[in-house]
Amino acid sequence: LERIPQVLLNGDREKRVPNTTSLSFMGIEAESIVLMLSEEGIAASSGAACSSDTPEPSHVLQAMGVPPSAIQGTVRFSLSRYSTGEEVDYVLERLPRIVEHLRSLSPLWPPED
């Protein structure tokens, strides 16, 4: 993730569920990321689990202090006991390219200071 600028890891770095990661990508919509990940055979979800079926901003992410400008770009990745290191590497290999491509098309990128 160090290869992707303007990405937030949501939640505490240590006190967290070990199989789930929520990331907010500034300047792009989560639905676009999820769609492009799906085209690469990668499953992910937008927003928080308890609000992924509603277009409203996630109250969970708001309560966690995620900035409103970041909530719209939040993607959730979950692993199972069957997930492999190779699958994680596959995601980490493709994700920077996807984010870079979407940001090149986004009117929200680069963010205003």
Q: What is the mean pLDDT of each run of 10 residues along the chain (113 residues)?
A: 92 91 95 97 80 67 87 95 97 97 93 71
Compute the residue count for the chain: 113
Helix or strand run (H / E) with residue 22: strand 20-25
- Name which of 12, 29, 22, 59 is nearest 44 in CA terms: 22
57 burial class (0-12, 13-18, 19+ CB within 10 angstroms)? middle
Kindly list the structural domains of the chain, giving each domain's residue range(s) and its CATH number in brackets, ordered by start.
Answer: 7-105 (3.90.1150.10)
Break the chain down into helix, strand, coil percent, rounded to 5: 40, 15, 50
Catalytic residue status for 50: yes
pLDDT at 19: 94
pLDDT at 48: 56
Q: What are phi and psi of 74, to 5 degrees?
A: -90, 130
pLDDT at 49: 55
Asked whether 41 and 94 are in contact (CB, 8 A), the reply is no
State the catalytic residue, choosing from 43, 50, 88, 92.
50
